[in-house]
Amino acid sequence: MGKDGWLFPGWGSLTQVDTAGIDASTQLIKDTRDALAKRNIQLEVLVLPDKTRFYGDKLPADKSLSPAVQGRYQTILGKLKQAQILAIDDEAVLQKVKQGGQDVFYRSDQHWTQPAADATAVAVAAQIKQNVKQLAGKPGTGMPLGTVFNERRYGDLAELFLTAEQRKQIGRDTFTVRRQAEGQSLLEDAPAPVHVTGHSMVQPYFGFPQKLSNELDRPVSVNWKPGNVGHWTMLLEYLESPAFKQNPPQVLVWQMFEPAYSQGPNAQGLWDNASIMSPDTFRSRMRRALGQ
């Protein structure tokens, strides 16, 4: 528990950076990028920055980010750039949102706010437009954005980790949610030229895939799961699915999380047991799913 009722997840070190893990993960991502390119699929990596780097002033008095952790996000981006893997600087995007007076994470929740998700979607869409000359599909097939409403509830960190008395003390947060536009579904009948795979940050509740679809003016498909399944398993789940085989996208947005970036597919005790595999197993399953 931090100051003023701010809650932070306990995973991810505030002091240490696993540079060897970052290098190993980047190599696996590069291998995946190369395999996707053979199928004419462009990979866009989306690394979401950690909540602590935006609200360090709300950490407990005895906690702070070390200089190495303060630079961890840019270290990751630098490694991706060195490997010529496409990735936006979402730390810069979210800092701009916060400097504009809007929160980018909820106080008692691990997830981002709608303004943060929207701004990130705009940045990802801009990069896709810059790198893909012509998206498949027809103009006018993007998702129209529904109206916005607020709901008061406890954040997931409060629900999962606090006692009833502690929850009462910190109170509920106001979550801003966009209603689905009438007659619209994220998984439209039209094939989606862009697919998003990741964890609960990219679920439709927080608005990222809808805004991305709206910005690109094309359908966007998404697969995600909550919990400690990890981004390696989520990618394989999609590549091994009938949906991928029937309609491989032009662009695959692979969402990851800064504190977990260095965790390979064999990160025992960090991913759930069903998600654990060796890097070689990940590579072979990935390539087999891509017909290589």
Q: pLDDT 10s per residue in the chain (292 long)?
A: 778 778 888 777 888 999 999 999 999 999 999 999 999 999 999 999 999 999 888 888 888 889 999 999 999 999 999 999 999 999 999 999 999 999 999 888 888 899 999 999 999 999 999 999 899 999 999 988 888 888 888 877 877 777 888 888 887 888 888 877 765 554 456 789 999 999 988 988 889 999 999 999 999 999 998 877 889 999 999 999 999 999 999 999 999 999 999 999 998 878 778 889 999 999 999 999 999 8
User: Rounded to whole angstroms, what are the CA distances from 168 to 6, 21, 164, 165, 276?
Assistant: 14, 40, 6, 5, 37
The reply to whether 238 falls in a domain is yes
Residue 4 domain flag? no
Q: How many residues are there in the chain?
A: 292
Question: Can you give the pLDDT at residue 189?
Answer: 64
Please count the structural domains in the chain: 1
- Type of residue numbered 63: K
In a domain, 9, yes or no: no
Inside any domain, residue 237 = yes
Residue listed under structure tokens 């961890």: 72
Is 3 contained in some domain? no
223 close to 280: Cβ distance less than 8 angstroms: no
Helices (H), the chain: 19-38, 67-70, 72-82, 90-99, 114-131, 156-161, 164-170, 208-216, 231-239, 242-246, 279-289
So what's the pLDDT on residue 185?
55
**Three-state SS for 51?**
helix
**Residue 149: per-residue pLDDT:** 80
Amino acid at residue number 66: S
| Residue ranges of E strands in 143-204 | 145-153, 173-180, 194-199
Q: Which domain, by its residues, includes 99? A: 19-66+77-290
